[in-house]
């Protein structure tokens, strides 16, 4: 019911005081959203955020997963430690990063200006619409590494050790093992991570809302969801907010379709049996079958 009701609202100039006085306006709310320069800026901010955080998370998570897959002392402790940021509240870690990048008493400015003397004056990280993306992106990468690493670690543990042993006998180095064995065999997992993280990137909200204080300055640092929140609950423009949400939902739907198609592809690898004979094994992840 809420989905249907909000979809209906996207076609109305909604009157929150007197619902009966709401006026049907057709697709004008969608036209307003698409032609709104603030929405265009928010979309660009969201795309930049996603394009950097997704590869960053996957790259660092892959390194962490490979290290945690080794037989090292204290492996269980490190697995738990890397996952702590994931279960920590977004509000808490956002305020933590806001303290780090504060313009007056921020730790980053203290290090850059007072300790390393790399800058002459303190950098206004949180009030500059471009610079504020740096702490937001770093926060997004840092908080998501643990979750992605656990997913990748599970995929790594399903790779037969025989493959690495055979590669070692053939004289393959670490780089060749990663590029020729590890990455091809965890490709379905990587595809899954990319799709899920892209969807998560386009749904960034709490950190953007708290760190930019609602898009400051002049609404230039908005993400799609923070703009939707401000239009809906500050200006009570429910038609605009509903239209924005369904435009975002349409994008997520398209990404999901791509995910299903990619996950249907076959992954092929060579599995060595105990007697040394090579057997060709196929794995295929099917959805809805």
DSSP code at position 20: G
109-135, pLDDT tens digit by residue? 888 888 887 888 888 888 888 888 999
pLDDT of residue 216: 78
The encoded tokens of residue 155 equal 């995929």
Average pLDDT, the chain: 83
Residue 281 scores a pLDDT above 70: no
130-184, pLDDT tens digit by residue? 888 999 999 999 999 999 999 999 999 888 888 888 888 888 888 888 888 888 8
Residue 105 scores a pLDDT above 80: no
> 118: burial class by Cβ within 10 Å (0-12, 13-18, 19+)?
exposed
Distance CA 201, CA 253 (A): 14
In this structure, the number of other CB atoms found within 10 A of the CB of residue 165 comes to 11
Preceding amide of 166 cis, omega within 30: no
76-85, pLDDT tens digit by residue? 888 888 889 9
Domains, the chain, in order of start with CATH, read 39-283 (1.10.3720.10)
For 23, list phi and psi in degrees, rounded to 5.
-110, 130
Residue 285 scores a pLDDT above 70: no
- What is the value of pTM for the model shown? 0.84
88-98, pLDDT tens digit by residue? 999 999 999 98
pLDDT of residue 264: 61
Distance CA 55, CA 60 (A): 9
Residue 193 scores a pLDDT above 50: yes
52-61, pLDDT tens digit by residue? 999 999 999 9
> 141: burial class by Cβ within 10 Å (0-12, 13-18, 19+)?
buried
Please compute the mean of the pLDDT values over residues 273-282 and round it to a whole number: 34
pLDDT of residue 25: 85
């Amino acid at each position: 019911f809420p989905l249907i009701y909000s979809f209906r609202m996207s076609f109305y100039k909604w009157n929150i005081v007197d619902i009966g006085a709401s006026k049907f306006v057709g697709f004008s709310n969608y036209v307003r959203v698409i032609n709104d320069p603030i929405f265009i800026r928010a979309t660009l901010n969201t795309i930049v955020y996603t394009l950097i955080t997704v590869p960053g998370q996957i790259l660092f998570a892959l390194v962490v997963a490979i290290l945690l897959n080794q037989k090292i002392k204290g492996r269980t402790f490190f697995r738990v430690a890397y996952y702590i940021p994931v279960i920590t509240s977004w509000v808490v870690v956002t305020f933590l990063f806001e303290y780090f990048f504060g313009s007056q008493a921020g730790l980053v400015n203290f290090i850059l200006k007072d300790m390393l003397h790399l800058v002459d004056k303190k950098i206004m990280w949180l009030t500059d619409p471009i610079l504020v993306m740096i702490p937001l992106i770093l926060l997004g990468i840092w908080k998501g590494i643990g979750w992605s690493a656990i997913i990748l670690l599970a995929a790594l543990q399903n790779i037969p050790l025989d493959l690495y042993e055979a590669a070692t006998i053939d004289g393959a180095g670490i780089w060749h093992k990663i590029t020729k064995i590890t990455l091809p065999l965890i490709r379905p997992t990587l595809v899954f991570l990319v799709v899920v993280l892209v969807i998560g990137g386009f749904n960034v909200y709490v950190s953007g809302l708290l760190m930019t204080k609602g898009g400051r300055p002049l609404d230039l640092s908005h993400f799609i969801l923070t703009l939707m929140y401000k239009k809906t609950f500050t200006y009570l423009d429910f038609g605009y907010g509903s239209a924005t949400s369904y435009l975002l939902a349409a994008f997520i739907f398209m990404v999901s379709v791509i995910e299903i198609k990619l996950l249907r592809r076959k992954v092929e690898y060579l599995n060595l049996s105990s007697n040394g004979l090579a057997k060709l094994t196929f794995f295929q992840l099917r959805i809805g079958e």
